[in-house]
Structure 1
Amino acid sequence: MDKKNIVIVGYPKSGTTWLSRLVSELVSCPLQGDWGFESLNAPYKEGLQRVSNYNVFKSHHTFNEVEKASELPIYKIIYIIRDPRDVVVSGINFFKFYPKFIANNYLFKKFSFIKKVSSKFVSEKEKKQQMIQAVLSGNKSISQWFVQSWKTHYEEYLNKDILFISYENLVKFPEKESLKIMNYLTVEVSKKHIQNSISNQSLLHRKKTAIHIKDEFQKKIIRKGTFGDWENEFSDDEKCIFKKNLTSPFYNF
């Protein structure tokens, strides 16, 4: 029997890894890593010993790419949406940034030591500017997944048979959002199972696990797990830029 492949999609730094782990725990199935890169040993693969008719995969693909990215069939897509201003703040603390004037230089691309040295000379202000550009217009110099703006990435998934989960609601009301997920997947589990899954994938539990196994990557991707940091990080001008550029009936920022 073919596995039912659940693909968790989100713009980078939107909580995609967290939701992928939570869904795989809720459904009691393996998290098989990155959609379209199934053979790679992704650091967030887990639960591979679970026996299930389901698999969960993580993805940042655009809507036009997601079905073509893998030969496996997609059963359901769940899209996690996060306030793009917090995406900026989270990205500043996660990605490596390089001076704009050398980012496309041939020698920069060829020699890794130039990358390593040059990244130390990028100010916090420049990092923020590059992340704002990525979210509002796209910026592949930071990551290949910033091929689109946040707005375009999200809006292409609208009006499809897809469940949308708000990062902020998942933080505030994890049990309610988890129940919404299970109803969408038509999988029945007990309230106790949902509560245990939420606890196992909580920030506190994951941090303790990362410290215990001395996993630096895991520590990096579970930095804070909060929202609203942008209010203290953004200038008035930056707040106005987002308000001007992200006006839509589908969200209100």
Structure 2
Amino acid sequence: MAQAGMQELLKKTLAENKDIVPSDPLFLHNGELYPTMICCPETLKILDTFETRSDDVILVGYPKTGTNWVGQILVELEAASGKYDEEERRKRSMRQRERELSLFPYLEFGDPAKFEILVLFRNPKDTAVSYLHFANGLKLLPTPKTWDEFFSDFIKGKVPWGLYLDHIIEWNKYLDDKNVMFITYEQIKENAALEIKRMAEFFDFTVNEQEIQSIVEKTSFKTMKDEASETNEGIGKFLFRKGVVGDWKNVFSEDQNKEMDRKFEESVAKTKLGMMMKYDVYCQY
């Protein structure tokens, strides 16, 4: 399963790097920072010429916007739809899946015109809070950060994978593309069955209402967190923390709240994608 594969990959990477302190924990690629522990320049360069198959499903998301969750939903949709026969499933061997999975977080650097893409977003305040715990837990940052330190870096884009608001602005260019579907973490939290049905229709997965409800249950936050705790306790607690909307209210100071509001208003609020994210609903007290 997608979440198990990702957890295993992270667990293996952490184990291999447990006693290694890289001289430079972050590196620049095309103007953005990446963590040395799990990324390398050679991999990112290869993605410039990465070629997809006609039936590939590509999920794009900034860290901690819900990609692990939605990735599992897509895996469940594929399985329930019976889209691949047994022979095709054998071809898509576990080794091949692991190779694809190890590349999966970086495929957004490919050409968006080549394949169907699901692009996931989450409100920037909850994203920032979740990202801090994830980055500190997996040691993606040079040194552990306090919330105040991290917020200062996050709002300036001085974190791995760059400025989240820039990510939103870039993908706003593709909002009307027919081969790109946009979805938000908050939409799925509000009505998972409806959004899973939308994903199924977009990617041509044939599933009935009963199968959709089963996927809702299999991919609930509690189910995925429990499974992660059983199989990869050390990694699971960083991938699945609270899974709620609005946790930022417990962390943001008044000044930080105003600064994020101002940055969003200046750069993103008036874009179509910015309006789709319902900032006024999810990022106000």
Give the unaligned 5+ runs of structure 1: 43-56, 98-111
Report the counterpart of residue 187 of structure 1 in structure 2.
205
Higher relative helix content:
2
SS at match of 1:248: coil
Q: Which amino acid aligns with 1:79?
A: V
**Residue 169 of structure 2 corresponds to residue 152 of structure 1:** yes
Q: Aligned partners of 2:263, 2:246: CA distance in 1, in Å?
A: 19
Q: Aligned partners of 1:38, 1:152: CA distance in 2, in Å?
A: 31
RCO higher in structure (CA 8 A, sep ≥6):
2
In the TM superposition, 1:217-232 aligns within 5 A as 217-232=235-250
**Residue 248 of structure 2 corresponds to residue 208 of structure 1:** no
CA drift at 1:237: 2.1
Q: Aligned partners of 1:82, 1:182: CA distance in 2, in Å?
A: 20
Which of 164, 176, 193 aligns to 2:194? It is: 176
Higher relative strand content:
1
Q: Which amino acid aligns with 2:99?
A: S
Q: Aligned partners of 2:240, 2:171: CA distance in 1, in Å?
A: 23
**Residue 99 of structure 2 corresponds to residue 39 of structure 1:** yes
| 4+ aligned runs moved over 6 Å, structure 1 | none
Report the counterpart of residue 150 of structure 2 in structure 1.
127
Q: Which amino acid aligns with 2:60?
A: V
**Residue 106 of structure 2 corresponds to residue 66 of structure 1:** no
Q: Aligned partners of 2:173, 2:107: CA distance in 1, in Å?
A: 11
Q: In the superposition, relative to structure 1, how do residues 211 and 179 fare at CA in structure 2: closer, same or farther (>3 Å)? A: same
Q: Which amino acid aligns with 2:130?
A: S
Q: Which amino acid aligns with 1:168?
A: E
Report the counterpart of residue 197 of structure 1 in structure 2.
215
Q: Aligned partners of 1:38, 1:179: CA distance in 2, in Å?
A: 27
Contact 2:61 2:67 in 1 (8 A): yes
**Under a length normalisation based on structure 2, what TM-score does the superposition of the two structures give?**
0.62
SS at match of 1:163: strand
Report the counterpart of residue 248 of structure 1 in structure 2.
270
SS at match of 1:169: helix
Measured against aligned partners, the alpha-carbon deviations of 1:26-77 in whole angstroms (never above 9, x if no partner) come to 12178x9xxxx962664xxxxxxxxxxxxxx844555xx2238xxxx95410
Q: Aligned partners of 1:163, 1:223: CA distance in 2, in Å?
A: 27
Q: Aligned partners of 1:179, 1:249: CA distance in 2, in Å?
A: 26
**Residue 252 of structure 2 corresponds to residue 238 of structure 1:** no
Contact 2:118 2:182 in 1 (8 A): yes
SS at match of 1:187: coil
Which of 109, 124, 129 aligns to 1:84? It is: 124
Contact 1:11 1:81 in 2 (8 A): yes
Q: Aligned partners of 1:20, 1:8: CA distance in 2, in Å?
A: 7
Q: Aligned partners of 1:21, 1:75: CA distance in 2, in Å?
A: 20
**Under a length normalisation based on structure 1, what TM-score does the superposition of the two structures give?**
0.69
Which of 52, 64, 70 aligns to 1:19? It is: 70
Q: Aligned partners of 1:242, 1:215: CA distance in 2, in Å?
A: 33
Which of 45, 53, 59 aligns to 1:8? It is: 59
**Residue 114 of structure 2 corresponds to residue 96 of structure 1:** no
Contact 1:11 1:150 in 2 (8 A): yes
Q: Aligned partners of 2:130, 2:68: CA distance in 1, in Å?
A: 13
CA drift at 1:126: 0.7
Q: Which amino acid aligns with 1:151?
A: I
SS at match of 2:242: coil
Q: Aligned partners of 2:250, 2:59: CA distance in 1, in Å?
A: 30
Q: In the superposition, relative to structure 1, how do residues 40 and 206 fare at CA in structure 2: closer, same or farther (>3 Å)? A: same
Aligned positions, number: 202
SS at match of 1:194: helix
Q: In the superposition, relative to structure 1, how do residues 74 and 59 fare at CA in structure 2: closer, same or farther (>3 Å)? A: farther
Q: Aligned partners of 1:125, 1:234: CA distance in 2, in Å?
A: 9
CA drift at 1:154: 3.3
Identity of counterpart residues, as a percentage?
Answer: 22
